[in-house]
Amino acid sequence: MTRIDDTFARLSSEGKKAFVAYVMAGDPDYATSLELVKGLPGAGVDIIELGLPFTDPMADGPTIQLAGQRALEAGMTLQRTLELATEFRKGDDTTPIVLMGYYNPIYNRGVETFLRDARAAGIDGLIVVDLPPEEDSELCIPAQDAGLNFIRLATPTTDDKRLPKVLQNTSGFVYYVSITGITGSAEAEAGDVGPEVARIKAATDLPVIVGFGINSPEKSEAIASVANGAVVGSAIVKRIGEGQATDEVLAFVKTLADGAHRA
């Protein structure tokens, strides 16, 4: 059982849906980012998705691309991202952290070294958007052997033929991408998402969490009502990019979390 499994078991026993928040590690700088991440659980966040800055983030829209650029320009690296997680763990040993990013920085560090260091830093799961199931031997299976969940993305174009392949080595939860395209590019609609979530849930016992296109408390509630929870990233990152104070950003996050928890 990982912290992710424990969190979903607890939420299920409470009859609640999950709220997952994405922030880019090191945006706009290490100290501000650490302060924000430390404040997320108090704002109602059940699982933290921590973005790993990368120079070529092909799945991300302009908002998160700019966040990655800010972080990189401030000196953020994979090593510093793991250090941030380590600092967070000194005060919180229960909130799951999912590291979300691309394979290149992990490959450059070396998979075995990375997995050892990620475990030591308190990382619970990985979302690596550019590794398809056909490459499971690269990272997915070693990660699960090391005790980390490997969370796969399903999309509106994942048909019934492809879905079993996507699910075969997934653990923790399934991340359903509610729209086609990049992050922040459109709004999710519960009427479209609900049947897709039901289709995925018919094929797996894992929780299904929906992300992309959720930007308000109302949308968070609507999407969580047809899934096991909601993920918000771009709408939070946008406020960081605008220079809002940490307490302002966390106040906004709380409204989103409250929405998901009402569902």
Give catalytic residue positions. 49, 60
Contact 57, 65 (CB under 8 A): yes
Which contiguous run of DSSP H or E holds residue 31? Answer: helix 30-39
| CA dihedral (187, 56, 141, 89) positive or negative | negative
Bridge-based pairing of strands 208-211 and 229-232 is parallel
Contact 229, 260 (CB under 8 A): yes
Q: How far apart are CA 196 and CA 175, in angstroms?
A: 12
Query: Cβ–Cβ contacts within 10 Å for residue 237, how many?
Result: 28
104 burial type by CB count under 10 A (0-12 exposed, 13-18 middle, 19+ buried): middle
Q: How far apart are CA 20 and CA 257, in angstroms?
A: 8
Q: How far apart are CA 263 and CA 218, in angstroms?
A: 10
